[in-house]
Amino acid sequence: MAIILDGKKLRDKILEDLKQKVEKFQVKPSLVVILVGEDPASQIYVNNKKKIAQQIGINSQVINYPENTTEETVLNKIKELNENKNVTAILVQLPLPNHISKEKVINTISPQKDVDGFTPYNFGKLFSGEKPIVYPCTPKGILLLLDEYGIELEGKHAVVVGRSNIVGRPVAQMLLDRNATVTMCHSYTKNLEQIIKTADVVVSAVGKNIIKGEMLKSDCVVIDVGIFKDSNGKTRGDVDFESSSKIASYISPVPGGIGPMTIASLMLNTVELFEKSL
């Protein structure tokens, strides 16, 4: 049976360390989260981010705009926050409504306050093999969890399924920087099953149940980034846990794997941006 990569346990350790660190700061880091619309999943994520930030002593505020808010309003708010010295980290929750350009919004965030690492400056640094100011949260959380369990990446074949800017692309780049041989798969990939069969590490970030135990190579490492509710309302990931945990050597569960690590990384990034602003 595979060893479970316990994201909750590592999250709790990271948050405890951060809390002690933040206690010593005279002025506190401050995270502002912008949410446009009433998407219930986004509302849960955003309120959770605020709650956890406050638990560790970070000042945190959510600005929740209605769905029909103009792009200009959001861009002007970001510009105001960029100028505000009391704000050290800005996060705009994705997805945005269709009438608001995601590119324009992200391009407006100051790279020094870009807690997701999504601005062209930070993404450009990452993809040219240089250090961004901070690394994107979910990929950072994945690597922290792999490191916690001493999982070697050098020379390993890592297969990333999904090519989003939030997870697939940046995690592929970060695995490459660790000297893994990286294959990226997506909805147009032919022979997905054959490719996964050769993977030492599988990272799946698709949002659909696509990975089954029989597709995996014995003793591989499985990272499940997917999270959605199935038709019975049960929280599921991309990976069929029961069959996959019999084949893999390590596996991240859903819930309790990468989700908590994303939050831990967001808090680490918030504190890193604050320290760099001093």
131 is catalytic: no
Per-residue contact track with ligand GUN, 122 to 141, x per CB under 6 A?
---------------xx---
Catalytic residue among 6, 93, 200, 224: 93
Distance of CA 108 to the CA centre of its chain: 21
6 is catalytic: no
Cα four-point dihedral sign 7, 9, 10, 13: positive
**Closest separation between CB of residue 93 and ligand GUN, Å?**
5
- The HSE-up count of residue 160 (CA atoms within 13 Å, CB side) is 22
CB closer to ligand GUN out of 53 and 91 = 91
Catalytic residue among 6, 116, 224, 238: 116
SS3 breakdown of the chain: % helix, strand, coil, rounded to 5? 45, 15, 40
116 is catalytic: yes
Count the residues of the shown chain that bind ligand GUN, applying the rule CB under 6 A.
Answer: 8
Residues with Cβ within 8 Å of residue 78, at least 6 apart in sequence: 34, 90, 92, 105, 108, 109
| CA-based nearest residue to 86, from 19, 28, 33 | 28
Per-residue contact track with ligand GUN, 155 to 174, x per CB under 6 A?
-----------x--------
Residues with Cβ within 8 Å of residue 188, at least 6 apart in sequence: none
Catalytic residue among 28, 49, 113, 140: 49
Task: Point out the residue whose Cβ comes nearest to ligand GUN.
Answer: 94
Give all strands of the β-sheet with 181-185 in edge-to-edge order: 3-4, 250-251, 221-224, 201-204, 157-161, 181-185
Per-residue contact track with ligand GUN, 21 to 50, x per CB under 6 A?
------------------------------
| Residues in 81-110 at the binding interface with ligand GUN, rule: CB under 6 A | 91-94
Residues that bind ligand GUN (CB under 6 A): 91-94, 116, 137-138, 166
Catalytic residues: 49, 93, 116
